[in-house]
Structure 1
Amino acid sequence: MLKSLKLAGLVMTVSFMTSVAGFAQQTKAVKQKETATKNVSSEKIPFNPEVKMGKLENGLTYYIQNNGKPENKVELRLVVNAGSILEDEEQLGLAHFMEHMNFNGTKNFEKNELVDYLQSIGVKFGAHLNAYTSFDETVYILPIPSDDPEKLEKGFQIIEDWAHNALLTSEQIDSERGVVLEEYRLGKGADERMRQNYLPKLLYGSKYADRLPIGTKENLETFDHESLRRFYKDWYRPDLMAVMAVGDLDVNTLEAKIKSHFGSIPVAKNPKKREVFDMPNHKETFIAIETDKEASMSQVQVLFKDYETATPDLTIADYKHSMVESLFGQMLNNRLDELRNSPNPPFVFGFSYHGGTYARTKEAYQSFAMTSETGQLNALKTLLEENERVKKFGFFKGELERAKKDILARLEKTYKDKDKTESERIVGEFVNNFLEEEPMPGIEWEYNFQKEEMPNITLEDVNSLITNYIKEDNRVIILTGPEKEGVAKVTEAEVQAVLDNVKNTELTPYEDKEVAAALLTNVPAAGQIVNYDKDDALGTTTLTLSNGAKVTYKITDFKNDEILFDAFSFGGTSLYSNEDYKATSFANNGLGEAGVNNFDINEMSKILSGKIVNVRPSIGTYSEGLSGNASPKDLEELFQLTHLYFTALNKNKDAYNSYKEKQKAFMTNMMSSPQFFFQIEMGKFMYGDNPRYLGFPSPEDMDNADYDLAYKKYQERFADAGDFHFYFVGNIDEKKLAEYSEKYLANLPSTTAKETYKVDDFRPLTGQHEKIVEVGKDQKSMVRMTYHGPTEYTEKEDYALQSLGEVLSIKLIEKLREEEGGVYGVGARGNINKMPYGWYSFNISFPCGPENVDKLTAATLAEVDKLVKNGPTDQDLAKIKEAQLLDYKEDLKDNRFWLRTLKNADYQGMDAKKMLDYEKSVANLTKEDLHNVAKKYLTQGYIIGIQNPEK
Structure 2
Amino acid sequence: KNGGIEKGLKAVLDENARVAKFGFTATELERAKQNFGSDVERRLKEKDKTSSQTLAMEYMYDFVGDETSMGIDSYARFVKAELPGITLEEVNALPKTLLTKENRAVIVMAPEKEKATLPTQAQLLAWIDYTPENLTAYVDEVVSKSLLTSLPKSGKITAEKPLPEINATELTLSNGVKVVLKPTDFKNDEILFTGYSFGGTALYDDFNTARFTNNLVSQGGVADFSSTQLRKYLTGKVVNVSTFINETAEGLSGSFAPKDAETAFQLMHARLTLPRKDEAVIQGFLTNLKDEFEQNQATPNPQNVFRDTLTAVMGGYHPRRMPVKPSDVDKINVQKAYQIYRERFANASDFTYFFVGNFKVEELKPLLEKYLGSLPSQKKKEAYTDLHIRPLEGQVSKSVFRGIEQKASAQFIYSGALPYTPENAINLTAIKEILNIKLVEEIREKESGVYFIGASASAFKLPEPRYTLAISYGTSPGRVEELATKTLDLLEHLKITGPSQTDVDKFKMESKRQLELQLKDNQYWMNHLVTSHQYGQSPQEILQQMKRIDQVSKESVQSLAKKVLGSNCVKAFLLPESKQ
Matches within 5 A, 1:197-208: none
**Residue in structure 1 matched with residue 550 of structure 2 by the alignment:** 923
Structure 1 residue 790: Cα displacement: 2.4
Paired with 2:387 and 2:304, the residues of 1 have a C-alpha distance of 28
**Residue in structure 1 matched with residue 537 of structure 2 by the alignment:** 910
Amino acid at match of 1:539: N
Amino acid at match of 1:588: N
Candidates 448, 452, 471, aligned match of 2:81: 452
Structure 1 residue 487: Cα displacement: 8.9
Structure 1 residue 669: Cα displacement: 3.3
Amino acid at match of 2:21: K
Candidates 391, 395, 404, aligned match of 2:24: 395
**Residue in structure 1 matched with residue 467 of structure 2 by the alignment:** 840
**Residue in structure 2 matched with residue 710 of structure 1 by the alignment:** 337
**Residue in structure 2 matched with residue 685 of structure 1 by the alignment:** 313
Paired with 1:373 and 1:585, the residues of 2 have a C-alpha distance of 29
Paired with 2:114 and 2:443, the residues of 1 have a C-alpha distance of 41
Amino acid at match of 1:607: Y
Q: Are 1:584 and 1:707, in contact at CA under 8 Å, matched by a contact in 2? A: no
Structure 1 residue 432: Cα displacement: 0.8
Aligned residue for 2:166, secondary structure, equals coil
Matches within 5 A, 1:767-916: 767-916=394-543
Paired with 1:573 and 1:683, the residues of 2 have a C-alpha distance of 18
Aligned residue for 1:404, secondary structure, equals helix
Structure 1 residue 696: Cα displacement: 2.8
Candidates 25, 28, 44, aligned match of 1:415: 44
**Residue in structure 2 matched with residue 537 of structure 1 by the alignment:** 165
Q: Are 2:422 and 2:548, in contact at CA under 8 Å, matched by a contact in 1? A: no
Amino acid at match of 2:368: S
Aligned residue for 1:595, secondary structure, equals coil
**Residue in structure 2 matched with residue 632 of structure 1 by the alignment:** 258
**Residue in structure 2 matched with residue 935 of structure 1 by the alignment:** 562
Paired with 2:499 and 2:356, the residues of 1 have a C-alpha distance of 38
Unaligned runs of 5+ in 2: none
Structure 1 residue 517: Cα displacement: 4.3
**Residue in structure 1 matched with residue 573 of structure 2 by the alignment:** 946
Candidates 198, 201, 204, aligned match of 1:570: 198
In the TM superposition, what whole-angstrom CA distance separates every residue of 1:551-608 from its partner, at most 9, and x where no partner exists?
111111111111111110011112112xx11233234322111100121010001111
Candidates 248, 261, 280, aligned match of 1:654: 280
Paired with 2:132 and 2:253, the residues of 1 have a C-alpha distance of 47
Paired with 2:336 and 2:142, the residues of 1 have a C-alpha distance of 33
Structure 1 residue 685: Cα displacement: 3.1
Matches within 5 A, 1:181-196: none
In the TM superposition, what whole-angstrom CA distance separates every residue of 1:485-544 from its partner, at most 9, and x where no partner exists?
79942344443343233x241200001112124312322221111111111111111111
In the TM superposition, what whole-angstrom CA distance separates every residue of 1:773-802 from its partner, at most 9, and x where no partner exists?
111111111111011122332221122112
Q: Are 1:482 and 1:669, in contact at CA under 8 Å, matched by a contact in 2? A: no
Q: 1:409 to 1:789 in 2, by over 3 A?
A: same
Q: 1:450 to 1:738 in 2, by over 3 A?
A: same
Paired with 1:494 and 1:598, the residues of 2 have a C-alpha distance of 44
Aligned residue for 2:109, secondary structure, equals strand
**Residue in structure 2 matched with residue 752 of structure 1 by the alignment:** 379
Paired with 1:691 and 1:666, the residues of 2 have a C-alpha distance of 21
Paired with 1:689 and 1:670, the residues of 2 have a C-alpha distance of 20
**Residue in structure 2 matched with residue 606 of structure 1 by the alignment:** 232
Question: Is 1:669 aligned to residue 298 of structure 2?
Answer: no
Paired with 1:705 and 1:486, the residues of 2 have a C-alpha distance of 33
Q: Are 1:585 and 1:705, in contact at CA under 8 Å, matched by a contact in 2? A: no
Aligned residue for 1:599, secondary structure, equals coil
**Residue in structure 2 matched with residue 523 of structure 1 by the alignment:** 151
TM-score by length of 1: 0.59
Aligned residue for 2:457, secondary structure, equals strand
Candidates 641, 645, 652, aligned match of 2:271: 645
Aligned residue for 1:629, secondary structure, equals strand
Q: Are 1:529 and 1:543, in contact at CA under 8 Å, matched by a contact in 2? A: yes
Paired with 1:630 and 1:485, the residues of 2 have a C-alpha distance of 45
**Residue in structure 2 matched with residue 104 of structure 1 by the alignment:** none
Amino acid at match of 1:456: G
Aligned residue for 2:444, secondary structure, equals helix
In the TM superposition, what whole-angstrom CA distance separates every residue of 1:729-786 from its partner, at most 9, and x where no partner exists?
1111323311110110001000111111221234220211111111111111111101
Amino acid at match of 2:157: I
Paired with 2:294 and 2:263, the residues of 1 have a C-alpha distance of 37
Question: Is 1:431 aligned to residue 57 of structure 2?
Answer: no
Paired with 1:691 and 1:933, the residues of 2 have a C-alpha distance of 33
Q: 1:630 to 1:787 in 2, by over 3 A?
A: same
Aligned residue for 2:353, secondary structure, equals strand
Matches within 5 A, 1:302-341: none
Question: Is 1:547 aligned to residue 175 of structure 2?
Answer: yes
- Structure number, greater radius of gyration: 1
In the TM superposition, what whole-angstrom CA distance separates every residue of 1:338-383 from its partner, at most 9, and x where no partner exists?
xxxxxxxxxxxxxxxxxxxxxxxxxxxxxxxxxx675222221122
Paired with 2:38 and 2:150, the residues of 1 have a C-alpha distance of 27
**Residue in structure 2 matched with residue 215 of structure 1 by the alignment:** none
**Residue in structure 1 matched with residue 97 of structure 2 by the alignment:** 468
In the TM superposition, what whole-angstrom CA distance separates every residue of 1:98-119 from its partner, at most 9, and x where no partner exists?
xxxxxxxxxxxxxxxxxxxxxx
What's the Cα RMSD here? 1.8
More helix by share: 2
Matches within 5 A, 1:98-497: 375-484=4-113, 488-497=117-126
Q: 1:824 to 1:482 in 2, by over 3 A?
A: closer
Structure 1 residue 666: Cα displacement: 4.2
Q: Are 2:13 and 2:132, in contact at CA under 8 Å, matched by a contact in 1? A: no
- Out of 399-408 and 448-457, give the one that drifted further: 448-457
Aligned residue for 2:286, secondary structure, equals helix
Paired with 2:319 and 2:47, the residues of 1 have a C-alpha distance of 52
Structure 1 residue 385: Cα displacement: 1.3
**Residue in structure 2 matched with residue 621 of structure 1 by the alignment:** 247
Paired with 1:504 and 1:425, the residues of 2 have a C-alpha distance of 44
Paired with 1:763 and 1:908, the residues of 2 have a C-alpha distance of 19
Paired with 1:474 and 1:684, the residues of 2 have a C-alpha distance of 48
Q: Are 1:574 and 1:757, in contact at CA under 8 Å, matched by a contact in 2? A: no
Q: Are 1:799 and 1:831, in contact at CA under 8 Å, matched by a contact in 2? A: no
Paired with 1:414 and 1:908, the residues of 2 have a C-alpha distance of 36
**Residue in structure 1 matched with residue 367 of structure 2 by the alignment:** 740
**Residue in structure 1 matched with residue 136 of structure 2 by the alignment:** 508
The count of aligned residue pairs is 576
Structure 1 residue 878: Cα displacement: 0.4
TM-score by length of 2: 0.96
Paired with 2:512 and 2:419, the residues of 1 have a C-alpha distance of 27
Amino acid at match of 1:420: K
**Residue in structure 2 matched with residue 499 of structure 1 by the alignment:** 128
Q: 1:886 to 1:662 in 2, by over 3 A?
A: farther
Paired with 1:688 and 1:452, the residues of 2 have a C-alpha distance of 62
Amino acid at match of 2:544: D
Aligned residue for 1:832, secondary structure, equals strand
Structure 1 residue 849: Cα displacement: 1.1
In the TM superposition, what whole-angstrom CA distance separates every residue of 1:161-186 from its partner, at most 9, and x where no partner exists?
xxxxxxxxxxxxxxxxxxxxxxxxxx
